[in-house]
Amino acid sequence: MIIIVAFIFSSRFSISAQETVKKEAVLEKVSQIDSYVRQIRGYLHERPELSAQEFETSRFLQEEVEKLGLTVTKVEGTGFYAVLDTRRPGRTIGLRTDIDGLPIEENPFNLKQRKQWISKNEGVSHACGHDGHMAILLGSIKILNDLKDQLTGKIVFIFEEGEETNSGIHAMIEALRPLQIDAIYGNHLNSKLNTGELFIQEGPIMAGTGTIAFDVIGRGGHAARPDLSINPIFAAANILNGVSIAWNNQRDITKTLTLGVTQIQGGETYNVIPNSVYIGGTIRFFDKEEGEKGFELLRKVAGDIARAHNCTVTFHDKMGVALNPVVNDPVLTVFTRNAIKDIYSDKVISGDQHIWYAAETFARYSELAPAVFLFVGIKNDELGSGAEHHNDRFDLDEDALQYGVGAMVQFAVQYLHSYTE
Contact status, residue 87 vs residue 126, Cβ threshold 8 Å: no
Give CA 183 to chain center in angstroms: 17
Question: What does the CA dihedral 30, 32, 34, 36 come to, rounded to 10 degrees?
Answer: -120
Task: With beta carbons less than 8 A apart as the criterion, state whether 94 and 158 touch.
Answer: yes
Helix (H) or strand (E) holding 165: none
DSSP letters spanning 80-115: EEEEEE-SSS--EEEEEEE---BS-PPPSB-SSSB-
d(CA 372, CA 22): 23
Q: Which H or E element spans position 186? A: strand 183-194
Tell me the three state secondary structure of residue 174: helix
- Phi and psi of 207, rounded to 5°? -75, 155
User: Is residue 130 part of an annotated ligand binding site?
Assistant: yes
Distance from the first to the final alpha carbon of the chain:
24
Q: Determine if residue 170 is labeled as part of a ligand binding site.
A: no
Does 188 appear as a known binding residue? yes
Q: Give 337-401 as a DSSP string.
A: HHHHHTT-TTTEE--GGG-B-S--GGGGGGGTS-EEEEEEEEEBTTTTB-PPTTSTT----GGGH
Question: Is 54 annotated as ligand-binding?
Answer: no
**Eight-class DSSP state of 228:** G
DSSP 34-81: HHHHHHHHHHHHTS---TT--HHHHHHHHHHHHTTTPPEEE-STT-EE
Ramachandran sector of residue 419 (left: φ over 0; alpha: ψ -120 to 50; beta: rest): beta
Judge whether 311 is annotated as a binding position. Answer: no
CB 277 within 8 A of CB 216: yes
Beta-sheet pairing, 183-194 with 371-379: parallel
Known binding residues? 128, 130, 164, 188, 390
Known binding residues for Mn(2+)? 128, 130, 164, 188, 390
